[in-house]
Structure 1
Amino acid sequence: MQQWMCEQVLGIEPATENEKPPPRRAQADKWAKPSPDFADVCPEPQLPVARPPLKRGDPMTEDLTIGEQIVLLALDEETGTLREAPLRVSLAVSAAALLELSFSGYLTERNGALVVAGASPPVDPAAVAMAEHMQSHPEETSREWLLAVREQALDTAYQGLSEKGLVQKQGRRVLGAFGSVKYPVTSRSELVALRGRLAAVLAQGQDPDERTAALITVLHHAGLQTVMPQGPGAEAREYRLTAIAEGQRPAAALGDTIRITVAALPAVIASSAL
């Protein structure tokens, strides 16, 4: 009757087989196998693809040596030149090489002198250069060691920062002049992290680890306080800086002889007519 009324009264023709909608399915059938339209709209989730490990040369992949940290802090980010006298920075990096030897166990103190303990030197090229010079010139004073290795130590620090993708070498050295080569900072993430770590120690009172304390100690005695983060509370920050540099807490682990050697940096700088 309904079909007759649709055709005779309303003039509606019945749908053909192609026009008829698909038969209704039970809810269990829908859960068991989604329709093509549903699969297109909501595709199956894909498993995350594992990221390849960072390789050497990528920023943040390796800890910087103390010397590399000194140079990175001393560089002008835009111009790629040192904000302090190159000889002053190079002596600080040279002193950092001694600290790397001390941390690695290569050096020990004996009767107020630094002597080779027999362990292998660290992989830091500046520390290796310092170790080789000390072995070939055991009669020299610590002041002479610092002066002898300073240029090579600075060069290796630049090279290390470049290999780690933090600076880019521009230009070339002319007649051994440092100013003819520039190293603008290409990745600021490590520099920001380094400044943040120093600010946490100097401004917020956080206890430094031994390497951070050693970095602060070298910067202080080399007269490179300006490369460290500046901010309010200068008096408290200076008190904190002096306390760390004079060997309290972690810095005391360096030993008296190595601390005396680093503390002699002002005299070495003054005698070098900086």
Structure 2
Amino acid sequence: MTGVALAEELLLLAYDDETGKATTSRIGLDLGMAAAVLVELALAGRVAYADGTLVVADPTPTGEPILDGVLSRMAADTPHSPASWVQRLRHGLRDAILGDLCDRGVVRDVDETELGFIHVHRYPAVDGTVEADARRRLATALTSDDVPDERTAALATLVAASRMEPALGLDGAAAVDAHRRLDEIAGGAGFSGTVSLEESVVRPSVALVIAALGQAINAALGPRA
């Protein structure tokens, strides 16, 4: 695997560049990042959806420590449902990804003390090119009638499932339009059952994983307000 991970893109979208604080629901973000890691493994051909569970299709390491840690954990365990895996993986994942982004100079860790003893960490941006690319791809996807590439379609679907539209700087009618378009992208990509897997722009094996994980996140977060 090469390039920027989907979970990293989700996290950067959710954090304000200046304040270094999350601007969206933390539970939604954590579930979304856990799902993003599983999607990444599906894109790499390591994980598949079968009989209501996520299973390891290929235990060969990807070379990415966070992904390989999850892959090893899944290979050593019995198969679990997508809903179970996102809950199992979300704890501690954000800290691991933030640490990796700090090591790579994408964000920096600002450790502050409140009330004289409470440590609060902020993560303002240092290198904004990674987030800028994700925002550019999503903006293009939202304003075009074309179905985007596999990774961008997956990212858009995870943004919608995690209810991260506010991270795109949209509210009111614009947010409603954005959610509608994100749903259209998910449908056109074969993630939501509105097109057949044979007509999907992504691999059927990947579409099944993303569809199952999107449903798991929505179930965990409950009805939309």
Whether these two folds match at TM > 0.5 is yes
* Matched-pair identity in %: 26
Q: Figure out how many residues of one structure are paired with residues of the other and give that number.
A: 206
Ranges in structure 1 where 5+ consecutive residues have no aligned partner: 1-61
Aligned equivalent of 1:143: 83
Larger gyration radius, structure 1 or structure 2: 1
Q: Which moved more, 1:260-269 or 1:208-217?
A: 260-269
Q: Which moved more, 1:98-107 or 1:239-248?
A: 239-248
**Aligned partners of 1:139, 1:111: CA distance in 2, in Å?**
10
Give 3-state SS (helix, strand or coil) of 1:244's partner. helix
Aligned equivalent of 1:194: 134
- TM-fit CA distance, 1:94: 0.4
Aligned equivalent of 2:184: 243
Backbone CA RMSD of aligned residues: 2.8
**Aligned partners of 1:244, 1:205: CA distance in 2, in Å?**
9
Structure 2 residue 43 is the aligned partner of structure 1 residue 103: yes
1:263 corresponds, among 185, 210, 215, to 215
Give the residue type in structure 2 aligned to 1:250.
V
**Aligned partners of 1:235, 1:147: CA distance in 2, in Å?**
28
Ranges in structure 2 where 5+ consecutive residues have no aligned partner: 191-199
Can you list the C-alpha shifts for 1:196-227, whole angstroms capped at 9, x where unaligned? 11101112334311111111111111111221
Structure 2 residue 121 is the aligned partner of structure 1 residue 169: no
Cα 1:155–1:234, aligned 2, differ >3 Å: closer, same or farther?
A: closer
Aligned equivalent of 1:68: 8
Cα 1:267–1:236, aligned 2, differ >3 Å: closer, same or farther?
A: closer
**Aligned partners of 2:222, 2:209: CA distance in 1, in Å?**
21
